[in-house]
Structure 1
Amino acid sequence: MIFYENQVKNIAQWPWLHFVVQLVLILVISELSYRLVERPFAHFNWHQWQSWLRKLVQPHSGYGWQRLMVLPFLLVFALGLTGAVIAPAHAVAQRAPLAKQIKRNSKQNSRRKASLIAQAQKQSAKAHSATTSQATSKQTDQPVAGLSLTQTQQAKQLPVVAIGDSVMLDSLNVLQQAFPKMIINAKVGRQVKASSDLLNYYATKGVLPDVVLIGLGTNGAFTPQQLAEIMRQVGPKRQVFWINVRVPTRSWQNSVNATLKRGAQQWPNLTVIDWYNYSQGHSAWFYKDQVHPNNIGKQHYSDFIAQQLLKQIKH
């Protein structure tokens, strides 16, 4: 299935069709393997393999056209070897720049996050000292890319806790530039179930602000009950902005986005940031996995989140 998954990038669009195709491929390959490899090998006299090999390569031996029967075995062996060696190496090479960026962002964010938590504990989310206001005004003379001057000033003053996975971690620096007070907790492979402990942690620290940004669902689906638990935990007085997912190589993409859409209809304080539709048709914004934004896509990702958040936030 390595070759199939490498070539087919839009599994999420027709998950059942791709399931059937993969099942058929598995059955066909299994049958061919049984008939052309396993059964002949089971009846082969291994004590005479050297004699068999010599006769096989001799032009006038008794095997004749039967030599062609060896070709399917060699083909299966070659394909298997290619899939086991070349394909993983190619995948690693493709992901190397992304992996390095994520690792670098993770290290930088560990120090930054601790500092932001300490700052948030010292001051109210809604009140700033005169010194802080003066310092901030000097920093907002120039708008952040993708935002107006007014939006830039709003973003720089806005306390946000963001919980995400590798997609958010990949774009961390750009988000942090737009929202200097945003506490970002993003981790590779994170599932929705991890958000409960994180929300409790920030609430206990006294730094869970009125705006919570969540970017989860890339690594697996979640139930409406899990979403309901998160919304109850956050409470009705806080606004939750949830970035929906673009993960075309996984069957749960549409399920995650549908769950979020229904949730936004149920909870007035839940807003879905529709990154899926906004990024539709822009494959150049992503690495080859079509999930993680590249250097171009990160800016679009951050700008879109900032614009949607600032436009719909309740002051």
Structure 2
Amino acid sequence: MNTTRRRLFTIGAAAIGTTFLTAEQAFADGYGSGALGPWQNLSKQISTMDQIGPVLRSNGLFMFGDSISVQDGRALAERLLPNNQIAVHNWSGRPTEPAVDALEQWAQAYGLPTRILMATGSNDIFTPPVFGAQVARTMSIVGPNRKVFWVNVQVARTSQSTAVQLADQRNSAWINLQLADAQRKYPNLEIIRWAEFLAGKPSRLTAYLRDGVHTSVPEGQAARNELIADAIENG
């Protein structure tokens, strides 16, 4: 087992409080988190052109997210006002590749502001190796003169068995390592370290997450949005 994979497994085991798995055990059933279900008919929030225009004129932000952002996006927009307007393309259950497709579509249709917020990756735990290529694709679309803020991920679904929670955590760490690798390559990529914030105090995992993935409201929502807002306002 190589060093990177061993490190991922160890992170997952420590977070869940269970034993270390071999590579063979961990990948016997895909990546251990199961399969991503259909997401195309799930809830979404997509800004209209009437909303996008003022964001571009004020050089605000475009945001691309998943179900956490569907839940928390309105509160984040209110937190960022009046200095930062935001247009959103948030879709529950969506993994990163179609989120980057949406980024590319908006870039072609509208152009891009100088700041992009990516709050996606939680749904990539089911196939974590594909994530890094989508980060690289994002940076290619955005180019070197725009800033990308990317919220990293913490998933360990409490509705699932301990073994699946361990796989979720391990795969979250794998995604976050790919994001960290990309940050070393792209100086205009800034990671918003939600996973590290949650790990900073054990009580935060239960206080700020209602199901091991989505933020509790209002505590977790406010904490995550504050991390994002601080990065944007100081970035």
- Alignment size in residue pairs: 187
Change (3 A) 1:223 1:301: closer
Q: Secondary structure at the match of 1:279?
A: helix
8 Å contact kept, 2:64–2:118? yes
Cα distance in 1 for partners of 2:107, 2:214 equals 29
The residue aligned with 2:71 is 170
The answer to whether structure 1 residue 307 and structure 2 residue 216 are counterparts is: no
User: Whose Rg is larger?
Assistant: 1
Partner of 1:252: 171
Q: So what's the TM-score if we normalise by structure 1? A: 0.53
Aligned to 2:214: 292
Instruction: Give 1:12 shift.
Output: 10
Q: Which amino acid aligns with 1:218?
A: S
Partner residue, 2:120: 216
Determine whether 1:199 maps to 2:103: yes
Residue in 2 aligned with 1:235?
143
1:117 to 52, 55, 60: 52
Are 1:162 and 1:185, in contact at CA under 8 Å, matched by a contact in 2? yes
Paired residue type of 2:110: G
Q: Cα–Cα, structure 1 residues 233 and 254, in superposed 2: closer, same or farther, change >3 Å?
A: same
Q: What letter matches 2:50 in structure 1?
A: S
Partner residue in 1 for 2:187: 268
Contact kept, 8 Å, 1:218 with 1:245, in 2: the verdict is yes
Report the aligned-residue RMSD.
2.9
How do 1:1-315 residues align onto structure 2 when only pairs under 5 Å count?
A: 16=21, 20=25, 103=43, 106=44, 109-110=45-46, 113-120=48-55, 123=57, 125=59, 159-180=60-81, 181-220=85-124, 221=128, 222-248=130-156, 249=165, 250=168, 251-280=170-199, 281=202, 282=204, 283-287=206-210, 289-295=211-217, 296-311=219-234, 313=235
Work out the CA distance in 1 between the residues paired with 2:117 and 2:142.
11
1:183 partner SS? strand
Mapped contact 1:162–1:182 kept (Cα < 8 A): yes
Kept after mapping to 2: 8 A contact 1:223/1:259: yes
| Aligned residue in 2 for 1:34 | none
In 2, the alpha carbon distance for the partners of 1:117 and 1:14 equals: 48
Structure 2: how far apart are the matches of 1:225 and 1:215?
Answer: 16
**Counterpart secondary structure, 1:16:** coil
Indicate the structure with greater helix content. Answer: 1
Post-superposition shift, 1:116?
1.3
Distance 1:211 1:178 in 2: 17
Q: Moved runs in structure 1, 4+ residues, more than 6 A?
A: 12-15
Q: Secondary structure at the match of 2:179?
A: helix
Residue-by-residue CA offset, 1:91-116 (whole Å, 9 max, x unaligned)? xxxxxxxxxxx95xx4xx44x54431
Give the AA of the match of 2:21: W
Could you say if the C-alpha distance between residues 175 and 15 of structure 1 is closer, same or farther in structure 2, counting changes exceeding 3 Å? farther
Instruction: Give the deviation of 1:124 after TM superposition.
Output: 5.4
Give structure 1 stretches of 5+ with no counterpart.
Answer: 1-7, 24-101, 126-158
> Secondary structure of 2:97's match?
helix
- The 3 A distance-change label for structure 1 pair 291 and 169 is same
Q: Percent identity?
A: 24
- 1:258 maps to a residue whose letter is L
Q: Which has the higher strand share?
A: 2
The answer to whether the Cα contact below 8 Å between 2:150 and 2:191 also exists between their aligned partners in 1 is yes
Higher RCO (CA-CA < 8 Å; seq separation 6+):
2
* Contact persistence 1:167–1:292 (CA under 8 A): yes
Cα distance in 1 for partners of 2:208, 2:73 equals 16
